[in-house]
Structure 1
Amino acid sequence: MVTIKEIAAAVGVSSATVSRVLNYDPTLSISTRKRQAIIETAEALNYATPRNRGRAAAQGVGAGQKIALVHFLEPAQELADPYYVGVRLGIESRCQAMKSEIVKVVPTGSPPEAAILEGASGVVAVGHYYGEALEWLRRHSRHLVFADYAPAGDADDSVLSDVAMAMTRLLEAVHRMGYRRIGFIGWIDAFHEPENIHSERRCRTFIDWMVKAGLYDPELCLVERMTPDSGYALTKAMLSKPNPPKVLITCNDNMALGAYRAIQEMGLRIPEDIAVASFNDIPVAQFLGPPLSTVKIPAELIGETAVDLLLERLSGRDVAKKVVLGTEMVWRGSTPQPVDREPGRSMAAREELRSV
């Protein structure tokens, strides 16, 4: 299928100019002759306009296409994290709706056969990829979309939620509640910046925000390589310190489950002795005692959107696209209600209760 770049080369203009002409941009300053040349060249080469590509997608561009789903987690690891199960289910449901065949590729300790990726119309890669693993995917994929991750730069299609922005909003909210002793537990993103144990986005945002607020205490920011017991072990270590936090933010809901167990074993109450908030909103979060306050990240929609981006590529789009989906803070019983829902108590009173 012809691309905008090929039309631009044929006419002797930039790809941006071609795109603006074909999208009827009224602000573009271009001669009538040049505009006509672009349109006639596009028609002669059977270029599918964005409008026609949308129609084609609606009529089943993905039908019969083979799509490879490359997951960064082993099956047992994925089953332990309902969030990534949701991302995968979103991919699978969209492929099924589009009548696309899906081939799953999971970690086995060595790179998968390159022929699997090369034989697919496109690849959806779930999770984080760095260094050689990232370049390997790029090298062997006809079209590549990242789900729940965006590599550095602007060369790749990707879809994710902005967890850094969500962390900022969460910190602002608990700060308005009057909390000053705010703790964080998370994991080490060893493959991104091995020399920086605090490089994971939520952790980095937590530190930056707390430093700017004049509240950062290194004792209240603990991370380790992720294990099934990380939430439990880190929470127990933090709450054993002389001046523990009054609210604990965990990197995801799985860690919050471990935090709940540690808090209960220590004879503490949630949220009276320590409040808890987290990320992902996995199904079990609403059934904990008390129910967990957490940032809802649209896992299934991330998977669905990744397939949509891939279908756009198959329909002719040649400019990389990054889609950032919104998040929602779901307040439940593990924290007091936000300040604007708690009119009966003054800020001074809240600070006296929570900043000690």
Structure 2
Amino acid sequence: MVTIKEIAAAVGVSSATVSRVLNYDPTLSISTRKRQAIIETAEALNYATPRNRSRAAAQGIGLGLKIALVHFLEPAQELADPYYVGVRLGIESRCQALKSEIVKIVHTGSPPEAAILEGASGVVAVGHYYGDALEWLHRHSRHLVFADYAPAGDADDSVLSDVATAMTRLLGAVHAMGYRRIGFIGWIDAFHEPENIHSERRCRTYIEWMTKAGLFDPDLCLVERMTPDSGYALARTMLSNPSPPKVLITCNDNMALGAYRAIHEMGLRIPEDVAVASFNDIPVAQFLGPPLTTVKIPAELIGETAVDLLLERLSGREVAKKVVLGTEIVWRGSTPAPVDHGPTRLGELSPV
């Protein structure tokens, strides 16, 4: 099998340059002539990228497989959260492309019939699983991949986005704009650490970052068990504070929708009175008034990657793999877009 090093030697460039060209890196500065030479040399030597080799292998294995999709949300609950619809659609579209059969199972209380999992070639579990539910999945799955969640330890295949890092970037950006009264509303992850109401990753990161910056105010961090009205109720409570936040970060876009309603009912303006930012970038986010600033998490790609990880297992991979996909802050009208003025020191901007 031809290697990147051999292509680099044939063209007279570095291996890193070849890798970036073949992976379509848009930031690479290279002449059109040299780029074309790399591509033509790779084609002449029948080079296939690791991603394409993996997909080619998967195409052969996927045909005729039965894959169980275990979801932690009931259908009605999933429809209320378009993010998880996206994850499921990514799984289904990848299975359809591979001509694999997919069986959907909902795990929201008592375990479903274990024979369904045991009769499947592999299982993709969507959502968070702890305790008995996690043990049940391990016990009855031949091969198991988690989508949008990574269990503790390093024994499981998983794919997710790093929302903690995304939260750090978002907080850093609004802080650089001059915001100091930064609020957060989220939900309680009751199964992960029942004794800690702030264990959810975005909430935990918010508290750590704000504390380190000397800005944490417990009145500006509100969480509750998730309900359809959580965003509305928590935002209304926080904005009734004698010293309310000037920017409100919500745990996901559904909560932001509720926060918008509370803000409008209270006669406040977005972003003049309170800016809003969130997570997920569900389709409706861009159509709100004003459009919602949000961290884009690649829901469908998470689902597709989960299926690819499962097929790699079926191909013989023995070492567990954790895939962390990147996120992007999409700046829209609910939060002023950051302006790059170079490095900014604390105190150089007027606090708001």
Identity fraction in percent: 91
- 1:226-246 deviations in whole A, cap 9, x for unaligned? 000000000000000110000
- 1:32-66 deviations in whole A, cap 9, x for unaligned? 99999999999999999989973752542111000
Distance 1:276 1:303 in 2: 28
Tell me by how many angstroms 1:156 deviates. Answer: 0.1
CA separation of 1:338 and 1:33: change in aligned 2, threshold 3 A: closer
CA separation of 1:239 and 1:310: change in aligned 2, threshold 3 A: same
SS of residue in 1 equivalent to 2:267: coil
SS of residue in 1 equivalent to 2:340: helix
SS of residue in 1 equivalent to 2:180: coil
- 1:299-318 deviations in whole A, cap 9, x for unaligned? 00000000000000111101
Distance 2:35 2:288 in 1: 62
- 1:171-206 deviations in whole A, cap 9, x for unaligned? 000000000000000000000000000000000000
Contact 2:253-2:281 at 8 Å conserved across structures: yes
Query: 2:350 matched to which residue of 1?
Result: 354
SS of residue in 1 equivalent to 2:145: strand
Tell me by how many angstroms 1:28 deviates. Answer: 31
CA separation of 1:155 and 1:4: change in aligned 2, threshold 3 A: farther
Q: TM-score, normalised by structure 1?
A: 0.82
Query: 1:24 matched to which residue of 2?
Result: 24
Tell me by how many angstroms 1:15 deviates. Answer: 28
CA separation of 1:77 and 1:3: change in aligned 2, threshold 3 A: farther
Once superposed, what is the RMSD of the aligned Cα atoms?
8.8
For structure 1, the 5+ residue unaligned runs are: 346-351
Contact 2:291-2:332 at 8 Å conserved across structures: yes
For structure 2, the 5+ residue unaligned runs are: none
CA separation of 1:64 and 1:158: change in aligned 2, threshold 3 A: same
SS of residue in 2 equivalent to 1:60: helix
CA separation of 1:88 and 1:255: change in aligned 2, threshold 3 A: same
CA separation of 1:34 and 1:184: change in aligned 2, threshold 3 A: closer
CA separation of 1:322 and 1:274: change in aligned 2, threshold 3 A: same
Distance 1:286 1:27 in 2: 27
SS of residue in 2 equivalent to 1:353: coil
CA separation of 1:8 and 1:330: change in aligned 2, threshold 3 A: closer
CA separation of 1:188 and 1:6: change in aligned 2, threshold 3 A: farther
CA separation of 1:44 and 1:176: change in aligned 2, threshold 3 A: closer
SS of residue in 2 equivalent to 1:335: coil
SS of residue in 1 equivalent to 2:226: coil
Compare CA radii of gyration and give the structure with the larger one. Answer: 1
Tell me by how many angstroms 1:220 deviates. Answer: 0.1
Tell me by how many angstroms 1:337 deviates. Answer: 1.2
How many pairs does the alignment contain?
Answer: 350
Q: TM-score, normalised by structure 2?
A: 0.83
Tell me by how many angstroms 1:340 deviates. Answer: 1.5
Tell me by how many angstroms 1:25 deviates. Answer: 25
Tell me by how many angstroms 1:110 deviates. Answer: 1.3
Contact 1:4-1:318 at 8 Å conserved across structures: no
CA separation of 1:30 and 1:131: change in aligned 2, threshold 3 A: farther
Contact 1:251-1:278 at 8 Å conserved across structures: yes
Stretches (4+) displaced over 2 A = 1-56, 341-345, 352-356
Contact 1:231-1:257 at 8 Å conserved across structures: yes
Tell me by how many angstroms 1:18 deviates. Answer: 27
CA separation of 1:132 and 1:22: change in aligned 2, threshold 3 A: farther
Tell me by how many angstroms 1:6 deviates. Answer: 31
Distance 2:333 2:119 in 1: 50
